[in-house]
Structure 1
Amino acid sequence: MGRLATLATCQLDQWCLDWRGNTERIIRSIQKAKEAGARFRTGPELEITAYGLLDHYGEQDTFDHSWELCAEILNHSDCQDILLDIGMPVKHRGLPFNCRVIALNGKVLGIRPKLWLCNDGNYREMRYFTPWKQRLVEDFVLPDAVQKLKGQKKTRFGDLIYQFNDGTRFAAETCEELWTPQSPHEDYSLLGVDIIVNASGSHHELRKLDKRVNLMLEATSKCGGVYLYANQQGCDGDRLYYDGCAMIMYNGNLLAQGTQFSLNDVEVLTVTVDLDDIQAFRNSRSRGLQAMDIAPYEVVEVDFDIYRLTESDPTARITPQREIRYHKPEEEIALGPACWLWDYLRRSKTAGYALPLSGGIDSCATATIVHSMCRLVVDAVKQGNEQVIADAKRICGEDEDWIKAATPQDIAGKMFVTVYMGMKSQSSKDTRKRAADLAKAIGSYHIDCNIDILFDAFSTLLGTILNFKPKFKVHGGREAENICLQNLQSRSRMVLIYAIAQIMPTVRGRNGGLLVLGSANVDESLRGYLTKYDASSADLNPIGGISKTDLRAFILWARDNFDIPVLAEFYDAVPTAELEPITETYVQSDEADMGMTYEELSVFGRLRKVSKYGMYSMWQRLVADWSDKYTPRQVYEKVKRFHFYYAINRHKMTTITPAYHAEQYSPDDNRYDMRPFLIESSFSWVSAKIEKMLGMMEDKKAEATGEQSETADQRNGEKAS
C-alpha cells in the first residue's frame, strides 16, 4: 500500500424547483462525505435544479438561481477542504449547457459541459441544452455571486482533465456518455486519468440495472482506475423514478453500491483505494502503444493533495470488493412504484390515496404496491429516518409515538381508502369478497357499495333525452348499445371515486383530499382496452407502465414475501371487467374481448416500441417465432387485429393517467411514445402486401403436400366477407 485516497459519491432525492431543499441535501451530502474522511465528492446530474425540469430550463431564472445557490454551497463552512463536483445548468455564449462545476475552497477550477446529450425515450436534452465539442476549452466569466466569494473573475469551460499535486488525475463524464460507443473515459484513461466521475439522472426500468452495472464494470476492467457513479433517487415531480444505486468501481470490481429503492433523501458512499494499484493494473504494453496515439487535453493544475500516505495513517484500510446486488423484477415492482408514490404523496401535501378496488388483479396489484409503500415507511421509521417520521406524522395526523409503534396496516388505515363499486347484475360475489379480504389484509379503510342508483339515473336520463333505451348484448342490444352501457358504468365509477376522494378526509375528521389511483396496466393501454375517463382515469397510476405478465408474477411474490394469502385468489381469477350482466351461459372475459392474450400483447408492445417494427416486419418476425402454435395466416390475423385496435384507440393515450414508467414499450403519449393519435386504421396497403405473401406461402405449401390450394378469387372473397 502507498497512496490512499478516500472518495465519495452520493444519491439525492431532489425535487424540481425545490431550490432550498435541493441545496440543503447537497450540503448534507458534502458533510457526510467529509465525516467519512473523503477528499473528493461527486453528485448527481443537474442536482441543484433536479434533473426533470423540462421546459423550466427555458427560463433565465433557472440559470440565475442555480449560480446563486452554487455560490451558497461553495461559501458554506462545511464545504471547504474537499474537492466538489456539482451538477447544474450553465449558460455560456448565450447557450444553455448541462454542466459539472468543479470547485475547491470557494473557487471554481473549471466547468465541464456535457458532450453527448440523451435525446430519445423519456429524454429530450436537445430541447433544452447544447452539446459541447470534445477537447474544446474556453474562458468563462463567472457570475457576480461567485466572483464575490474569492474575487475570481474567470475559469476554464470545456472538456478538461484535472491534476493534483502528486500527479493523480481525474475527469468527468455525464450519464449518456457512459452509454455511447466511444465514451470519453476511454481517452481519459489512456491519458493517465485515475479517477473518473459520472453524474447521472438515470431512471428505473424493469431489468435495466444490469446494463448500467455491466457498462461500468467493462469500463474499469479495460481501462482500470476508479469510477464514481452518482445518481438521483426518487420522484422529482414526473412519471419517472430515478433509482439511485450509486456505485464505486475500481479496476473491474465493485467496492460500494447504494440502495436502488429507499425513502432516504441523502445517501453517501465512500471508499478508500490505493492509487498505486491503478498503475500496476495498467501495465499492459499494448495499452502504452495506444496511449501514445491519443490527442492531448488541456490539464488544470489543482493545488490539493487527494491522498494520504500509509505511513501517516497505519490504521487505514482499503475498501474490499463486494458482490453486486440485483433485485428480482417482482421486487422492483414492489419497491420502485412504492417509493414513487411516497414521494408524490409527501410532496403534494395531500391526505392520502383512494383506489377503486374491483377484485381483479390490476387494482389488487395497485393496492399491494400501496401496502409495500406502507411497509417501507414503517422500516424507515424504525431506522430513525427523521424526514419520513415528519412526513408520516403529517399524513397520518398522529404524534411521533404513534408513528414509531405503527404497523403497515395502521399507516394504511389512516391514508388509504379502497372502494368496491359493484352492480347487482354484473358484479360477482367472488370479486366483492376478494376486494374485502384484501382490504382487511392490508388495513385500508374499505367501502363496499353498489352504483346501480347512479347507473340507473344516467341511463334513464339518456333514454329520456333520446327516446331510446339502450340494452346490453345479452338482452338483445346491438354492439353500440352494449358499449354505451359499459362505458356509462365505468364513467359513473370515476365520478363517484373522485367525490369520495374529495370528501372522505372531512368525513373522518381530517383536512385535505385524497389522490385517486388508477390501475390500467401497460398492455391494456397499448391495446386501448379501457374506457376514456373511466375508473382508469385518475391522478396517478403506479402500474400503468407494467405488463400484465409481470404483474401476475409480482402478485405471487407478494403473496409469499408480504404474507397475504388472499393474493393467490386474485392470481387464479379469470381477468374480467364485469361491465356486462352475468348469465348462466355468459361471463365477460378480458382476453376473449380483446381477441388476444396478455402475453401476446406484451410481445406486440416490445416489437412495436423497442424493436421498432411496423406491421409487416412484425408479421414476418412472428411467423418464425410463433411457428409452433400458429399458421402464417393466423399470425397475420392477430397482428392485423392488434394494429387496428392500437390505431383506433391511440387517442386514449392523450389523456392517459400519469403512470410510473417501468416498461420499455410503454405507450404513454405525453412524452415517451411520440406517435400521432389519428392514423389510418385499416393498414390497407400493408395488408395487401401481406395477403400477397400469404398467397405465395400457401400455394407453395399446397404444392409440397399435394393439396389443392385456394384460388386468388377465393382468398379475395374470404377477405371481402
Structure 2
Amino acid sequence: MNQGYFRVAAVAPAVSVAGTDANAEAIIQTAAVVAASGAELAVFPELSITAYTCGDLFHSSTLLNSARLALAKIITASASFPTMTMVVGMPLQANGMLFNCAVFLGAGRPVAVVPKTYLPNYNEFYEQRWFASGEKSGAMPSEVELCGFNVPFGTDIIVSVNGVKVAAEICEDLWSPLPPSSTLSLSGAEVIVNLSASDDLIGKYDYLLGLIKQQSARCVAGYVYSSAGFGESTTDVAFDSKGIIAENGNIIRHMPRWIRHPESTIADIDIYALRHDRMHSTTFSHAARRHGSDCRVVDARIVPAIPSEISLCRDVNPSPFVPPVDELLDSRCTEIVNIQTSGLAQRLKVTNTRSLVIGVSGGLDSTLALLVAVKAFDVLGIPRSGITAVTMPGFGTTGRTHSNATELMKVLGVTIREISIVPAVMQHFADIGHNPDVHDVTYENSQARQRTMLLMDIANKVSGMVLGTGDLSELALGWATYNGDHMSMYGVNAGVPKTLVKYLVKWFADRSTDNVERNTLLDIIDTPISPELIPANSDGTIAQVTEDLVGPYELHDFFLYYTLRYGFSPSRIFLLANTAFENTYDRATIKKWLTVFFRRFFSQQFKRSCMPDGPKVGSVCLSPRGDWRMPSDACSVRWIKECEDLKV
C-alpha cells in the first residue's frame, strides 16, 4: 500500500472457448498492462483460463490438463511483475471432484485456491452438472498440488497482499442470501474479489450494481468484480465484459460494457478509510465476534513497490458535502430541508412556542434559517407573523445586504423589526474605554454581542425563542463570537456546512413562485460572505470578506470532512486535497490553509463544547452531545507539526 491506498484492477481479457493457450497469452498480456499501472491486485473473470461456456467439455481430461499447463505459463510469466498478485479462474480436479476455482498467484508461484460455494442450477445455468461445491465437508482437501507446489485450498482462505487482507467469492456466491464474503469480511478480509461470468439480460446490470454496492457496504470492504465478455459462446446467451470496483457502498470505477477488445478498470481502494469505519462502528466488531470464523491467512509474498508520491487513481470530490450529480443534489437538499424543518417544528411543538426571533443580515446563513423557520411555521399551521425577523444594521452593513434582508422579510410575510446597533455599541465603547477608530476584535465582537442581546431580549418580550443561524463550517473554525452569534435557543444550521448552504438557498429559490423572492434569494447567493463588522469601502461595497481572513470555505469544508468522517492525518488530507484541487490551488496554498484549519479547529473547541441544540443532517457533526466529544484543552502539537513538515 502507498499512503493507505491499495491499487486494484478488474480485467476482461479476450477469451477463446476451450482455447487455453490463447487464454493464457491474453491473461499475461493484460496482466502486464495493469502491472505497469502500479496495480497490486489484478482480478480476471470466472473460468478465464478455459472460458465459462465450455459445457460438457469441462469433464474432458484434455481440457483439464491443458488448463493446468496454461496456469503454469501464467505463473511463470507472473515473475515478470513481482509487485502484483493475480486472481484467475479455472476448473480444478481434487479428491475425485471438479471445482470452479479462483487461483491466487504472483511472483512466480501459486498462492491459494478458493472454490466456488454456490453453484447455480436454474434457468440458463447448469453448473451442478459439472462442478462440486466448495462448501466445507470431510471430503474437502485443505491443500492441492498445483504446478509443483502444495497450495492451500478452501473457502476459509484470506490472502495477505502487502498487508491488505483479500478474499474471494465467485459469481453466484454474491447472489446468495448469505454470501461467503459476509463471513470472510467479519473474519478480517478487507477487499473481496469476485470472478464472474454473468450473462446479460434486461435490467440485470442495474440489479448487479445494487448487489455490489450493498455487499461492499455491509462488509465495509472494497469489492472488485470482473466478469467475462467477448469471446464467450453466444449459443443461447450473450456476455458483456464487466469490471466494477466498489468501496463501502460506492462504485468508484466501472468498465465500459459491450466492448470487443481487452479492457481493464483500475482504482485505488482506501484501506485506511475502511479500517477507520470498521473500528468506529461497534456494530461491525460485535458482528465479527459473533459470526467471524478462523480463516487461514496466506501471504502472497509479492515484492512491495517502492513508496512514492502517488497520483491517486480515484475521483476525489472537492466538495464532499455536495453531491456531484444534479438529481442527487436536489434529492439531498430536499432531505436536509426536511430534517431542519422537522427538528425546528418538533422543538416549537414540545415547548409550546408560537413565537420565533431571528436576526436577518441578508447573508446566506440567516437567509436559510429564516426560510426553514417559515416552512416549519407553515407545517405547524402557525401564522408567519409569529416570526419576528430583526435586521440590525451596524458599522459595516452595506446597502445590498440590508436591501436583500428587508425584501426577503417582506415577501415572506413575517414580522419585521429594524434596530440600528450603532448608538448602543458606541455607548458601549465609551463605557469600556475603547477607541471606535481601532477596528480590532473588541470592535467586531461588541457588535456581535449587542445583536445577540437584542434578539434574546426581544424573545423574552414576545415569549419566543431565538433561532441561531451559524453553520457547521463556522463551528469548526470557531468563526463566531463567544456568547454573541455563537449562542441561541436552537441552531437550525448547526449540521449544514458552508459549501452546502448556497445550494439549499437555491433549492428554495427554484421552488419559489414569487419573482421578488426568487431574485432576492439569487442575489443573496451571489453576495460575498462577510460578517460586515468593518465599515464598507468608499463605494459602498463589502470591505470584510470572510474567506480573505480565514481561507476558502471549500478548502476548510474539505479538511473538515476528512478530519471528522475518517480521522485522517494532515498529510493524508493534503494528498487528497492536492488531487481534488489540482487545477484550483497550488500546494503551498493548500498547506497554508490546512495549517490554519487545524490551529483553529483545536483552539476553538471551547465554543463547540457549549453550542446550542440543532439537528444533525449528515455524517459529519460537531455537537458535543453526539458525534464529536473533544476536550477543549487538547494538545494540537502533532497535527500542526505534521502540517508544517508537508513538502510543497
For Structure 1 versus Structure 2, the TM-score category normalised by the shorter chain is 0.3 to 0.5
TM-score, structure 2 length as denominator?
0.46
TM-score, structure 1 length as denominator?
0.42
Larger Rg, first or second structure (1 or 2): 2
